[in-house]
Amino acid sequence: MPNSAGEPEPTEGPLESSGREESDHVENRSLSKEEEPATQASASGEAAAEAQDWWSEQPASDWAQSAGSAPDTEPAIPKESTTADVYFCGHTTLLSLSRALQVIAKEKLTGALRAFWDRESIELLAQDGAIVFATTRDPDLYCPDAPAVLANVDAEIVAKARAQQSETGVPFFLTLAREDAIASQPAVELVQHYGQRLFSQLWMAPRVWIMFEKNTELLDNAGDVPTEANVDDWALESLRLVQNLDQSLGFEPASIPAYTRDGYERVQKLKLTSDEAQFASQFNGVRSVQQITKNLRLDLKSAHLMLFRFVALEIVECWPASAATKPERKNVFQRFKRLIARGGR
């Protein structure tokens, strides 16, 4: 899929530093393996949460009970979902979208991640742990505009395909391609783009119930759609489509971004843009958002958007400014020990 407007071309491989001089006199370079302990966030809570396989299969009755006890403000959940073959489920305040995607990949699941919120539910299809596409039975929510590829297609044919999506959930672009109304390659690209744009709305939604249902019928209509094996890359493409953050999702300029326990390893595998790679190279558990923004000469909005992507993927978490002293002291001690060792030779 082509990048959204204004995004530099993706770059792969180890992160490289920006090379710009920093006012805090911290060395500006790519993070080495030796420095990783100083860049990673404390994982005590995370390790405790992962001590058991929380995604283990749950009886549908348990999920139905938890859904039924939710407040009246919770999204409506179809009754048939309570008898589905549910592998895991939960509220996004406890079970994040990123964590759910990681489980799908790790367990090589086949089925649909269903998201229930204040609008029509969204389904993200997966095949053997790889992502197929995201869809919904509301064609107006899925595609509110008119892509150029439909300009020469009879309006009645498009309307019929959209109506079919309302009944089956199959993206109407696929229906048009199978009827030779549009070419297959543009149809697949549109399915991926509009699916990621659809899913991007969930990253900022305050209250979402998610559940993974195994072996759904929608997959019978997705055999001709290529899959994305790297769920982080797919999620990052979706996050790039988030252009405006709610004020509640902003970050304090003095907060300190630092890699999570496995964040440094995961970020190395991502197809980052050059701007994202430079931004990620600044995370060392010492520099604040404000300092990183100054070092890279970014405006605060752009910095917040990029930081939001890494935080949503759970590759990075933000510490309060007071937490910066601990990793900084540790890093100084490490360098001091190296100097002593060299002096003794």
- Whether the predicted pLDDT of 28 surpasses 50: no
The two tokens of residue 195 are: 């699916």
Q: Which stretches of 7-76 are assigned E, i.e. beta strand?
A: 10-11
Q: In this predicted model, what pLDDT tens digit does every residue of 263-307 receive, in sequence order?
A: 999 999 999 999 999 999 999 999 999 999 999 999 988 999 999
Distance, CA of 324 to CA of 123 (rounded, Å): 40
Q: What's the pLDDT tens digit per position in 221-246? A: 888 899 999 999 999 999 999 988 87
User: Residue 210 pairs with which residues in a beta bridge?
Assistant: 90, 115
In 3D space, the residue among 279, 290, 343 whose CA is nearest the CA of residue 321 turns out to be 290
**Cross-strand bridge partners of residue 125:** 112
Predicted pLDDT of residue 26 = 38
Residue 23's contacts (CB-CB under 8 Å, 6 or more residues apart) are 291, 294, 295
- Report the mean per-residue pLDDT for the chain: 79
Task: Identify the pLDDT of residue 216.
Answer: 80
Q: What end-to-end distance do the CA atoms of the chain give, in Å?
A: 55
Tell me the whole-structure pTM to 2 decimals: 0.74
Angstrom distances, CA of residue 80 to CA of 51, 57, 113, 173, 224: 32, 18, 15, 27, 28
Q: With bands split at pLDDT 50, 70 and 90, how would you rate the model's confidence at 317?
A: very high
User: Is residue 40 pLDDT above 50, yes or no?
Assistant: no
Residue 83: predicted pLDDT: 55
Answer yes or no: is pLDDT of 70 > 90: no
Helix (H) or strand (E) run with residue 91 in it = strand 86-91
> pLDDT category, 250, cuts 50, 70, 90?
low
Q: How far is Cα 190 from Cα 12, in angstroms, rounded to an integer?
A: 24
- One-letter amino acid identity for 45? G
The whole-angstrom separation of Cα 66 and Cα 90 is: 9
pLDDT confidence tier of residue 329, bands split at 50, 70 and 90:
very low
Mean pLDDT value across residues 159-180: 96
- Per the CB < 8 A criterion, the answer to whether 210 and 115 are in contact is yes
pLDDT, average across residues 307-313: 96
Contact indicator for 288, 304 with CB cutoff of 8 Å: no
